Structure 1
Amino acid sequence: MPLLIARNAMLVVIDFQARLMPAIHAGDKVLLNAGRLAEAARLLEIPAVLTEQNPRGLGPTVPELAGTAGPLISKMSFDACAEAAFLDAIAGDRELVICGCEAHVCVGQTVLSLLEHRRRVIVVADAIGSRAPESREIAISRMAAHGAEIVTTEMVLFEWLRTATHTQFRAVSKLIR
């Protein structure tokens, strides 16, 4: 089914870290959208997993996302799939909704590996970032060419809701106002 299904989703939040975010092009917008996704996941009881790349060097997850429910996986590999704890956290067949930094490094390598693992991967284009805009654009093209679905934050939120009669419609729709 092409539409996203909330009950079959998992949010994957990759490397939104304190020392990295100031260098990310349009980082405020990327972080805002990741926060919207994390809050919607909380409201809709969608599980999440967070990663931190070399937290001693890049610092912890930014405060705006640090409270996101779900396991926090520290890693040294750019590809989160190289960490057994990450693979354990995403075990099953949930569709994986991806946000994070950097699009052309940790996000890209993780997405490509997830595709090799035959997972349905949804990359939220306005919730991923890189230091250089061209790196982000090329990463999105490459991930799409290999089978990742490219969406926006609003697409995810409204597909998760499906209807204006959803009990969380008002709360989730407020996130994008």
Structure 2
Amino acid sequence: MNKDELLKIYSAYLPYGLQLQHKYEKAKHSGETLLRSWVKPLEPLDLGCLFPHRKDSFDWKAILYDLSYLTKEIEHEGERIIPMVYFIKKTSLFDLSKCTFEVYEDDGEVYVNAHDGDRVIDSIFYDGNIFWSSKLLDIHEGYRPANPQHTWQEMLLHLHFNVFNLPESEYINKATLTNK
């Protein structure tokens, strides 16, 4: 992937606090600060003060979560959350404060059901491209595309998920990143 393609992808994450790491550095850096001048072609990126021997380098990788972490606990803004539970709480039309949540994967799709006792009152799933939601209280009627889809994509970007399917060599998995 060339620099221009990576910049287009990275720019989608900038409003959500993307962090980047240089391949020779262990420190994390603000994506907005580093990429601002790359996306403005008239201003050269001055990394000289940070990396004098690599001033013109673009050996930066985004720090993102793999989509397989949608059902696993991650850190977000200092809290531990399960992304699919976070999504249903943010988007449900129902009060889910007393619910328990069942999160699971089935045949490449990721599901979360909100249970109130033995009743499922809301449910969503993600098939890798589109989020789907249950039809109100009657989950047996099936699912429909959750609207608007851009809200769901923004939530994935906000939580720094690899929604553009970057190859593993093009990003750093935030879940396995250590500051050794």
Q: Tell whether the structures are fold-level matches, with TM greater than 0.5.
A: no
Greater strand share, 1 or 2? 2
Normalised by the length of structure 2, the TM-score is: 0.24
- Which structure would you say has the larger RCO, counting Cα contacts within 8 Å and 6 or more residues apart? 1
Give 1 or 2: higher helix fraction: 1
Q: Normalized against structure 1, the TM-score is what?
A: 0.24
Q: Which has the larger radius of gyration?
A: 2
